Amino acid sequence: MTAETVLTNARIVLPDEIVEGSLLLRDGLIAAVEPGAARTGEDMGGDYIIPGLVELHTDHLEGHYAPRPKVRWNPIAAVLAHDAQVATAGITTVLDALRVGMDEDADLTSDDIRKLADAIEDSVREDRLRADHFIHLRCEVSAPDCLKAFTNFETDERVKLASLMDHAPGQRQFVNLETYAYYYQRKLKLTDQDFKKFCEKRMGESARNSGPNRVFISAACHERGIVLASHDDATAGHVDEAIEQGVRVAEFPTTEEAAKASKAAGLGVLMGAPNVMRGASHSGNVSARTLAAEGLLDILSSDYIPFSLIQSAFFLGDVVEGISLPQAVAMVTKNPAEAIGLSDRGVIEPGRRADLVRVRVDDHVPVVRTVWRQGRRVA
């Protein structure tokens, strides 16, 4: 039996325009977009209908599994709690970011990360999840255990993206050692002398490990068809290195120089939605709003606040001149989907998956009213 749903009296956000009309959903796909059509169906009351959001980089899952130092939650329960939060934020496709290689601030181990990956796989297999879940490997290339941890995922087909990152002092996000001290010395409660030793150790690890690990992981990802992302590029030189390694996504460039070089090279420039909402990076790096105003922003990620993704889509046009709602929505739907090769979603048009979100805006805040994944209501 053919399963059909009609959503009528909606403001439908298409790639280049917003139309008032109806959507016909059939067997999990969008069957028709009908501008101005007065159909009988589920009345959307003039609310927006946008594509389901596509999230490429959220490490939010770890907080559900390890909510306090030394506390571990049931991994399946953690995945379910994370899934519920992302789905009710309008995210219908999510790449759960899992650490590969542990730096000094890690409370988790590689065994913990493997448990989370297994819980994701098991939950997908048992159809427990609202959103469509894949895996993003956050590869800390300076860490001594990076390659060993990476091999824990050598047979995982759910891995869609791997990012190459180095959070050692003097590198990328933390070129400024004062910023690094503010972030790590306070977090780890180190004396000045102990912090100096800590920095020397981390810089030594970076010098020994980063280069070889980048080469190995990039080659392995190309062989397996995993999309590569660079992370926290700060200079044109960093971007040149990323291009040489076959990177396709530039995650969180820390300077306008790096963003311009990435854009010129055809990389998808990804920034944090919390950066958009706050107007600045929490690390003192370049503002996402600045990059958007310069035409240098392609993709937004919720990073550490799932709801910030839909917030930023409906907020960006208010604070950056020249950005329309369809353009902002593309940054959280079409563009991230295309960046990782998911051509079946991210746009409202016939033949695409019926991954959809009904949104009302109250006092400049988007209210997620209904979420459909493949035509089935999940939130």
Q: Where are the alpha helices (DSSP H) in the chain?
A: 60-65, 75-88, 110-125, 146-150, 177-180, 186-188, 192-224, 236-244, 256-264, 273-278, 288-293, 308-319, 325-330, 334-339
Statement: residue 1 has pLDDT above 60: no
CA–CA distance from 98 to each of 23, 24, 61, 329, 360 (Å)? 36, 37, 8, 26, 33
Instruction: Give me the mean pLDDT over the 299-308 stretch.
Output: 96
Instruction: Give me the mean pLDDT over the 362-378 stretch.
Output: 96
Q: How far is CA 44 from the centre of its chain?
A: 28
Asked if residues 300 and 294 have their Cβ atoms less than 8 Å apart, the reply is no
pTM, whole model, 2 decimals?
A: 0.92
For residue 182, the model assigns a pLDDT of 60
3-state class (DSSP) for residue 269: strand
CA–CA distance from 25 to each of 7, 30, 127, 234, 306 (Å)? 8, 5, 21, 45, 27
State pLDDT tens for residues 334-363.
999 999 999 999 999 999 999 999 999 998
Q: Where are the domains of the chain?
A: 52-344
Asked if residues 375 and 3 have their Cβ atoms less than 8 Å apart, the reply is yes
R_g of the chain, CA atoms, integer Å? 21
For residue 179, the model assigns a pLDDT of 62
Domain range 52-344, CATH class: alpha beta
State pLDDT tens for residues 39-59.
789 999 999 999 999 999 999
Statement: residue 325 has pLDDT above 60: yes
Asked if residues 136 and 98 have their Cβ atoms less than 8 Å apart, the reply is yes
Statement: residue 240 has pLDDT above 90: yes
3-state class (DSSP) for residue 347: coil
State pLDDT tens for residues 8-49.
999 999 999 999 999 999 999 999 999 997 778 999 999 999
Q: What angle do helix axes 256-264 and 236-244 make, rounded to 10 degrees?
A: 30
Instruction: Give me the mean pLDDT over the 241-250 stretch.
Output: 96
Among the listed ranges 160-164, 191-195, 328-332, 366-370, which one has the minimum average pLDDT value? Answer: 191-195
Write down the mean pLDDT value for the chain. 92
